[in-house]
Amino acid sequence: VVELDKGEFGVLVARELHATPAARAASLSYDGGTLAVSKPDGELLLVEVDGPSSAPGRTLRLDPSANLLEWAPEGGWIVLGCNRGEDDSRAWALDSVNLRLVPLPGHQGRPVDAVCATLDDGRGWTAGGDLSLCLADLATGKELARTRLVLRASYMAATGDGARIILRSTTSATI
């Protein structure tokens, strides 16, 4: 993690805040205070960006490791997903304050291709290789809705009111 500042004479200067090992995925919280890093060995590391660079951060072990991380704007939740293979794929929600992991429904045994959190109310979307799109409550893991997609999603994001999501596949985008 680096911090960019305008230095002397308006020149942009990068200052290293934290060095992290190789990562499968990384995501910065909306307030910019916490970096989540998923390492290949299954360790999920939460580092306070404004803390001392020598601080080790908080850790949690995931099996398998996550390659998708998306912070929810409020509440400290992170939506995580893994698309490692047919048998090892799954999705979770993580309460980043208490390090409580909540399994999310859908896609078990199929790759999780994209995840996102709604902007307003603690819900998360997951899209999987089984072409299903699932909405779940992050705190309980309860499935709230499920539908079928025409194409596999490679990325998604929620609109501000949470009423719509934008999906991108390798061939098109859908709202």
Mean of all residue pLDDT scores within the chain: 80
| Residue in 124, 130, 137 with CA at minimum distance from that of residue 112 | 130
Q: Which of 11-25, 52-66, 94-108, 161-175 bottoms out in mean pLDDT, i.e. has the lowest?
A: 11-25
Give the rounded percent of residues in the chain with a pLDDT score beyond 70.
Answer: 77
**pLDDT, tens digit, for every residue of 9-18?**
655 555 555 5
pLDDT of 141: 94
Is 162 a residue whose pLDDT tops 80? no
Is 49 a residue whose pLDDT tops 80? no
> CB under 8 Å, gap of 24 or more: what pairs does 10-18 form?
16/53, 17/49, 17/50, 17/53, 18/47, 18/49, 18/53
Q: What DSSP designation does 80 have?
A: E
Is 22 a residue whose pLDDT tops 80? no
Is 8 a residue whose pLDDT tops 70? no
Q: What's the maximum distance between 2 C-alpha atoms anywhere in the chain?
A: 55
**pLDDT, tens digit, for every residue of 129-149?**
888 999 999 999 999 999 998
Q: Which of 32-41, 85-94, 111-120 bottoms out in mean pLDDT, i.e. has the lowest?
A: 85-94
pLDDT of 77: 92
The CA distance from 117 to 159, in Å, is: 10
Is 79 a residue whose pLDDT tops 90? yes
Task: Dig out the tokens for 34 from the structure.
Answer: 């916490």
Q: Distances from the Cα of 109 to the Cαs of 82, 85, 86, 89, 129, in angstroms? A: 10, 8, 5, 5, 9
pLDDT of 93: 93
Task: Dig out the tokens for 134 from the structure.
Answer: 């699932």
Single-letter amino acid code for the residue at 125: W
Average pLDDT of the residues in 94-108: 88
Judge if the upstream peptide bond of residue 21 is cis by omega within 30 degrees of 0: no
* Gyration radius of the chain's alpha carbons: 17
pLDDT of 63: 80
Bridge partner residues of 172 (DSSP): none
- Please tell me the number of Cα atoms within 13 Å of 169 on its side-chain side: 13
Q: What DSSP designation does 11 have?
A: -
The CA distance from 170 to 137, in Å, is: 28
